[in-house]
Amino acid sequence: MDLRHLLEVAGMTALIVVVAIGGFLVFQAVRPRVSQASATAVAIRQVQQMDPNVRDFAVLSARYDAAPDRVYDDRGNLIYSESHSSCRVLLFEGPAWLCHADGAWIVHLRAPAQSGFTNHDAWVLVNGQNGTVSSASTSSS
């Protein structure tokens, strides 16, 4: 094998390694640090603090969204919207389309009939990186 072919093989090997490392870093960045069980526990505590008269909330669903700019409930109603005009990209302010909201667990809770209401629903967004509540809402009907 001459020097030219050796350099080509080395270059291709380096490219494959860089792409693999980049893919691994992207995968790590979009994966939540907070588990689904922890997120649902945080969501239940939040709802209990918001409405202490309603008890026995149970989890109907919990899903992770890596970039929840807009979140809709099961009926298609908008329940959360992240809006900003710009964001920091390295050392500069960049346009909003470059930046998305932090990944979040979207937890839907429901409690049985009580307090004169048949339905008690709650939606809680729990930040997937640090476990804080980004948004929470309850409704009773």
**Count of domains for the chain:** 2
pTM of the model: 0.70
Residue 92 pLDDT more than 90? no
Residues 6 or more apart in contact with residue 92 via CB below 8 angstroms: none
Residue 28, phi-psi category: left (phi > 0), alpha (psi -120 to 50), beta (remainder): alpha
What range defines the domain where residue 86 resides?
Answer: 33-140
Q: 130: buried, middle or exposed (CB in 10 Å: 19+, 13-18, 0-12)?
A: exposed
- Average pLDDT of the chain is 83
Residue 62: its pLDDT value, please?
Answer: 92
| Residue range 82-86: mean pLDDT, rounded | 65
Cα Dmax for the chain = 84
Higher-scoring residue by pLDDT: 98, 132? 132
Higher-scoring residue by pLDDT: 85, 64? 64
| Residue range 75-86: mean pLDDT, rounded | 74
Residues 58 and 121 in one domain: yes
Q: Is 83 helix (H, G, I), strand (E, B) or coil?
A: coil
Residues 2 and 45 in one domain: no
| Residue range 28-48: mean pLDDT, rounded | 86
Residues 21 and 77 in one domain: no
